[in-house]
Amino acid sequence: MTDRIPVLIVGGGPVGLALAGDLGWRGIESVLVEARGETIFQPKMDMVGIRSMEFCRRWGIVEDVYSAGYNRDYIQDCAWVTDLNGYEFGREFFPTPREEKTPPQSPQHRERCPQNFFDPVLRKFARSTGKSEIRYRTELVSFVDHGDFVTATLRSREDGAEYTVEADFMVGCDGGDSRVREDLGIEMSGEGALTYTSNAIIRCENLESLHTMDPAYRYIFIGPEGTWATLVAINGRDQWRFSLIGDESQREVSEEEMRTAINRAMGREFEFEILSILPWVRRQLVADQYRKGRIFIAGDAAHLTSPTGGFGMNTGLLDAVNLSWKLAASLEGWGGEALLDSYEYEQRPVAIRNVTEAGDNLKRMLGPRVAQPRPEVFDGDGPETDAARREYGDAYTDAMKREWFSIGIHLGYVYEGSPVVIPDGTVLPPLTVQSHEQSARPGHRAPHVWLDPQRSILDEFGRDYVCLRFDPNLDVAGLEMAAAVEGIPFRVVDVEHREAAELYGTRLVLVRPDGQVAWRSNEPVVDAAGILSRITGVTEQATLAVA
């Protein structure tokens, strides 16, 4: 007998695990299959962005992220140098993860938690829901969308046994070389190969004692040929990721060549262990479609980006949270077809913006390959040489600040024109990168404000539609009744807080389960059924009337 499951997830990286966890957190069962085992030999991400940490707060796993394994007392500076025993051109100073302060726009701050630590946190979370089954060493063989369900053939890599499952929906979270995307015939648009790069994970005890630079989380190495490599702390102790940046030419880097490059970066020969080497390609691509029938794609399967900026996985977690509640709505019977369609409509523009910004960050990092520093900065001493280094370092610092400070990317995304968001006639503000001004305009992330020292208004959002009522005299019984009739999860939260009322701007604000504003108004609700019909995708357009 063929197993029938609500959601089949293909791919067990952070995006697939987050999707499984969020579905389970909403009471929806899923099966996740991953061809590899649980061990991560090459962590592809190391920064959990501020919005992703807000999701972790929602799921109750912030402390698990803190204790996952990264040394939270390790300095997070970024420095650009000739080599570790040479000269430092400049440095951006950052506190340790433990000492970093939360910004005014969020109850959380970004956190350093590489994939080899973050995946186990998400896996534990998914399993803790009791609704998410994870099958490692299991690969997708084929699938068929029958229109009202999907059949997938799976194969165990342990014994080669094949079997079939049926799912109401399937989601491909299976990476840049996505089998799901390829078999669906979905093309990608953008730049296919920015650079061919090779990563080496190395182990070295007390590496800091072997060089003259102050500690840093990330070192960028600049030579006469320009930016040629980076070194990043993987656990803040004894493991590092060395990236040898190539160009558009594809070639294999031998272990001997990698060792030579690592010694060059150190500025002398030293003892270290290479744990793994992984060649990879920086791409700037976004899928032309995110959905075909009952099959969706998310994460790297939907968008490929340079890691410059740390947007890739965090954009993928945004995919997962956006899609999860919409799948739940469909499975529970209160979400319409337009709600499922809105996933692509909302998330694809976000990916295009983020992928483009990451590619521009890469161009800024590789800028010295075009505008190379003067030769004398690499050798020698003296006032003129020191001045030339400072001049070059200051220019590089100015160019790179946009990558280091990007809160507008992480919190300032907008679902403009979404079919399940009701506009209020206000004008879209300029999209910024290095700053973020909170707005409760429909389509935006609902703003954060502290209601008390431990409670953010964001803590109200997650499983339900939440109607924030800043005037207790407004009658919202019609919304409550209409939601009850349709089985829509709905709550009214009265807020007596002047700062929150000013920030949200109107007396009624309706926030979706993913934490985005769906509708707001200063007037009493007249067409409650029409509002709910529109924002749940039951009808793409509805006659909306207010008194």
DSSP output for 197-261: EEEEEEE-TTGGGGSSSPP-SEEEEEETTEEEEEEEESSSSSEEEEEEE--S---PPPHHHHHHH
Amino acid at 21: G
Q: What is the pLDDT of residues 351-400, one digit of tens each?
A: 999 999 999 888 888 875 545 666 777 777 788 888 888 888 888 888 88
Query: Is the pLDDT confidence value at 444 over 80?
Result: yes
Query: Is the pLDDT confidence value at 438 over 90?
Result: yes
pLDDT score of 546: 34
Q: What is the pLDDT of residues 173-205, one digit of tens each?
A: 999 999 999 999 999 999 888 888 999 999 999
pLDDT score of 119: 97
pLDDT score of 370: 46
pLDDT score of 200: 95
pLDDT (average), residues 198-219: 95
pLDDT score of 545: 37
pLDDT score of 543: 40
Query: Is the pLDDT confidence value at 544 over 70?
Result: no
pLDDT (average), residues 494-514: 97
- Report the distance separating Cα 149 and Cα 162, nearest Å: 20
Q: What residue spans in the chain does CATH classification 3.50.50.60 cover?
A: 3-69+109-188+288-360
Amino acid at 389: R
pTM of the predicted structure, to 2 decimals: 0.94
Query: Is the pLDDT confidence value at 506 over 90?
Result: yes
pLDDT (average), residues 60-69: 97
Higher pLDDT residue, 247 or 69? 69
Closest CA to 80 of 216, 245, 187: 216
At 491 the three-state DSSP class reads strand
Query: Residue 242's beta-bridge partner residues?
Result: 200, 231
Give the sign of the dihedral formed by CA 502, CA 503, CA 506, CA 509: negative
Note whether 96 and 76 are within 8 A (CB): yes
Query: Is the pLDDT confidence value at 462 over 80?
Result: yes
CATH code given to domain 3-69+109-188+288-360: 3.50.50.60
Query: Is the pLDDT confidence value at 339 over 90?
Result: yes
pLDDT score of 365: 84
pLDDT (average), residues 159-176: 97
Q: For residue 318, what are its two tokens?
A: 């945004």
- Please state, as a whole number, how many other Cβ atoms lie within 10 Å of the Cβ of residue 249: 8
Amino acid at 335: G
Average pLDDT, the chain: 93
Amino acid at 174: D
Run of H or E including 305:
none
pLDDT score of 49: 97
Higher pLDDT residue, 374 or 329? 329
Note whether 222 and 372 are within 8 A (CB): no
Q: What residue spans in the chain does CATH classification 3.40.30.120 cover?
A: 414-535
- Dihedral of CA atoms 492, 496, 498, 503 in degrees, nearest 10, equals -10
- Report the distance separating Cα 369 and Cα 344, nearest Å: 37
pLDDT (average), residues 30-45: 92
Query: Is the pLDDT confidence value at 247 over 90?
Result: no
Q: Which residues contact 543 (CB under 8 A, 6 or more apart)?
A: 527, 530
- Please state, as a whole number, how many other Cβ atoms lie within 10 Å of the Cβ of residue 192: 12
pLDDT (average), residues 443-469: 97
The proportion of the chain whose per-residue pLDDT surpasses 70, expressed as a percent, equals 97
Strand 455-456 with 47-48, pairing: unpaired
pLDDT (average), residues 456-477: 97
pLDDT score of 1: 55
CATH 3.40.630.30 fits 414-535, yes or no: no
